[in-house]
């Protein structure tokens, strides 16, 4: 990861920007949303891990410490994903199969809740997303004396 960030910094023009946008797991609880009101149905089965991405955070920290990029902005928000069926939710969770799964008992509760609430109901999962804006610093020009003439020149 450090090597990839080094290459990005190397090829970026001075003052250029890089956006680091990534989810921080675990997911919030699965909710049933009806007419803008949310009711918690339960939690997914999720792997035990540190929130966020320690490897990415470490690589980014190293690049910042070396001055290859500077942190211009750091923010976060909750991203909501909605489904109107268990099948759609399961399809979404396939991409997360190494860290989260929908337990059968929660799927049954969600299916019954959707059916009881009617067509205006949605299932919702929220994910915490971090956004970092990184900038390649402008190279400061140093003055050096030209050996022959003694004049100052920018390098």
pLDDT of residue 67: 94
Query: d(Cα 36, Cα 25) in Å, to the nearest integer?
Result: 24
E-assigned strand segments in 25-69 = 30-34, 37-42, 45-46
Query: d(Cα 118, Cα 37) in Å, to the nearest integer?
Result: 14
Token duo for residue 31: 């909710």
Render pLDDT for 8-33 as a digit per residue (tens, 0 to 9).
999 999 999 999 999 888 899 999 99
Contact call for residues 20 and 60 (beta carbons, < 8 A): yes
Token duo for residue 3: 């090597």
Render pLDDT for 24-58 as a digit per residue (tens, 0 to 9).
888 999 999 999 999 999 999 988 766 677 888 89
pLDDT of residue 1: 84
E-assigned strand segments in 2-142 = 17-24, 30-34, 37-42, 45-46, 70-83, 100-101, 121-135
């Amino acid at each position: 990861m450090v090597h990839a960030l080094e290459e990005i910094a190397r090829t970026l023009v001075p003052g250029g920007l890089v956006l680091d946008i990534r989810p921080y797991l675990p997911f919030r609880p699965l909710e049933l949303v009806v007419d803008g009101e949310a009711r918690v149905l339960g939690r997914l089965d999720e792997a035990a891990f540190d929130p966020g991405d320690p490897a990415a955070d470490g690589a980014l920290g190293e690049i910042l410490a070396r001055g290859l990029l500077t942190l211009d902005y750091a923010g976060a928000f909750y991203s909501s994903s909605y489904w109107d069926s268990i099948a759609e939710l399961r399809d979404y969770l396939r991409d997360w199969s190494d860290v989260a799964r929908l337990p059968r008992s929660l799927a049954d509760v969600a299916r019954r809740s959707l059916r009881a609430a009617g067509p205006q109901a949605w299932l919702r999962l929220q994910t915490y997303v971090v956004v970092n804006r990184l900038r390649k610093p402008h190279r400061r020009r140093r003055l050096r004396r030209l050996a022959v003439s003694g004049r100052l020149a920018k390098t």
